[in-house]
Amino acid sequence: MSGDRLLTGSRAQATIEALAGALLLVVLGLASLQAFWVWRAHAVAAAAAEAGALALVAGGDPVRAVRESLTPAQRQRLSLAVGEREIVVALRPRSLVPGISERALRVEARAAVAEP
């Protein structure tokens, strides 16, 4: 093996540790991105529930108000329950792992109208 340089001893150990560290940073970055998407879905669901509750107070259509406050992509991941004085908005956040959002990830927000 003339001209080939083999990593031995501490150099090989350092290379392995550097690769493991880089992998750990990638995993932490992806986990942070997923956490952000869940947080954002909850914030959007809360705003949509509030829009629906305001429509209830004004005598409007709460379902329409909720749907109009969401983007088309968010509407596809929406579950909505409208009661006499309460709106429950549930969204499935985006997911890095295909299919997991439908099974495991779901955020929910409620908004209620106080009695006069």
1/20 Cα distance (integer angstroms)? 28
Contacts 24+ apart (CB under 8 A), 92-97: 92/41, 93/37, 93/38, 93/40, 93/41, 94/37, 94/41, 95/34, 95/37, 96/30, 96/33, 96/34
What pTM was computed for the model? 0.79
Note whether residue 19 is domain-resident.
no
Note whether residue 26 is domain-resident.
no
Q: For 91-106, how does the pLDDT look when each residue is reduced to its tens digit (9 = 90+)?
A: 999 888 877 766 788 9
Q: How many domains does the chain have?
A: 1
Note whether residue 88 is domain-resident.
yes
Q: For 21-55, how does the pLDDT look when each residue is reduced to its tens digit (9 = 90+)?
A: 999 999 999 999 999 999 999 999 999 999 999 99
Note whether residue 10 is domain-resident.
no
103: exposed, middle or buried (C-beta count within 10 Å: 0-12, 13-18, 19+)?
A: exposed
Say if residues 34 and 104 touch (Cβ distance below 8 Å): no
Instruction: Supply the range of the domain harboring residue 89.
Output: 35-112
Note whether residue 4 is domain-resident.
no
